[in-house]
Amino acid sequence: MSACPNCGAPVRWVKSATTGDWMVLDAHPAREGNVVVTRDGAGEYIATVYRDQFAARDAHPCLPWLPRYFDHHTTCSQTGEWRRQ
């Protein structure tokens, strides 16, 4: 786990399941989150982004306990700093 360079909040970095790019997520799960972190075939953590919390939950009906997260860009108190970097 690391800290956001702008607001100092704890964050985690996980590769996107779609693009393979690194995503910054809030470190702690949120019931309303729309990002689900799972493992790929190689055991690496990957993040899948869904339209909203309901789509994320419905995509994994057999695993309702899977934690959901927010992309940190949506919750960072210093969002403007991300855009300048």
The answer to the question of residue 85 being in a domain is no
What local confidence, expressed as pLDDT, does residue 59 receive?
92
The answer to the question of residue 9 being in a domain is yes
Q: How many domains is the chain built from?
A: 1
The answer to the question of residue 8 being in a domain is yes
The answer to the question of residue 12 being in a domain is yes
The answer to the question of residue 64 being in a domain is yes
Low-confidence stretches of the chain (pLDDT beneath 70): 80-85
What local confidence, expressed as pLDDT, does residue 61 receive?
86
The answer to the question of residue 13 being in a domain is yes
The answer to the question of residue 49 being in a domain is yes
Domain that residue 16 falls in: 2-80
Q: CA neighbours within 13 Å on the CB side: how many for 11?
A: 20
What local confidence, expressed as pLDDT, does residue 37 receive?
95
**Tens-digit pLDDT profile for residues 36-60:** 999 999 999 999 999 999 999 999 8
What local confidence, expressed as pLDDT, does residue 81 receive?
61
Long-range contact set of residues 80-85: C-beta below 8 Å, sequence gap at least 24:
81/6, 82/6
Residue 83: partners with Cβ closer than 8 Å, 6 or more residues away: none
